[in-house]
């Protein structure tokens, strides 16, 4: 039991160091499996079509399973003052865009802007 507490505390401590380093501008590796990478590749043209003036570098992208057989790709705009991003709505960099991609053929299932 004591070992589990130490392990948990160490894990939390190292996780916070990683986040701090990432926030300081140090690039971190991103690992995507092939299905998520394909969903992201299919969603980027939709992002560029729906927000032609937005710079993708000012967005954080989330790719996660949604309904059976689809992946939701969320383009989350950063705050204008480079603060932590928040889901929903609009910032000076653009609007949050959600794109659902069918994993069977990487076609678009649906598109929605956050409210």
Dump pLDDT digits (tens) for 4-22. Answer: 344 334 444 444 444 444 5
What are the boundaries of each domain within the chain? 1-29, 31-113
pLDDT of residue 88: 63
Looking at the DSSP assignment, which residues form a beta bridge with residue 100? 72, 110
Predicted TM-score (pTM) of this structure = 0.71
- CATH number for the domain whose boundaries are 31-113: 3.10.450
User: 83-93 pLDDT, tens per residue?
Assistant: 665 666 778 88
């Amino acid at each position: 039991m004591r070992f589990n507490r130490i392990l948990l505390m160490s894990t939390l401590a190292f996780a916070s160091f990683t986040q701090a380093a990432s926030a300081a501008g140090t690039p971190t590796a991103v690992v995507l499996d092939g299905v998520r990478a394909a969903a992201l590749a299919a969603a980027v043209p939709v992002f560029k079509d729906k927000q032609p003036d937005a710079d993708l570098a000012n967005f954080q992208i989330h790719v996660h399973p949604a309904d059976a057989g689809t992946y939701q790709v969320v383009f989350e705009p950063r705050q204008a003052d480079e603060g932590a991003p928040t889901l929903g709505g609009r910032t000076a960099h653009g609007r949050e865009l959600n794109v659902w991609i069918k994993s069977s053929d990487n076609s678009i299932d649906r598109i929605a802007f956050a409210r």
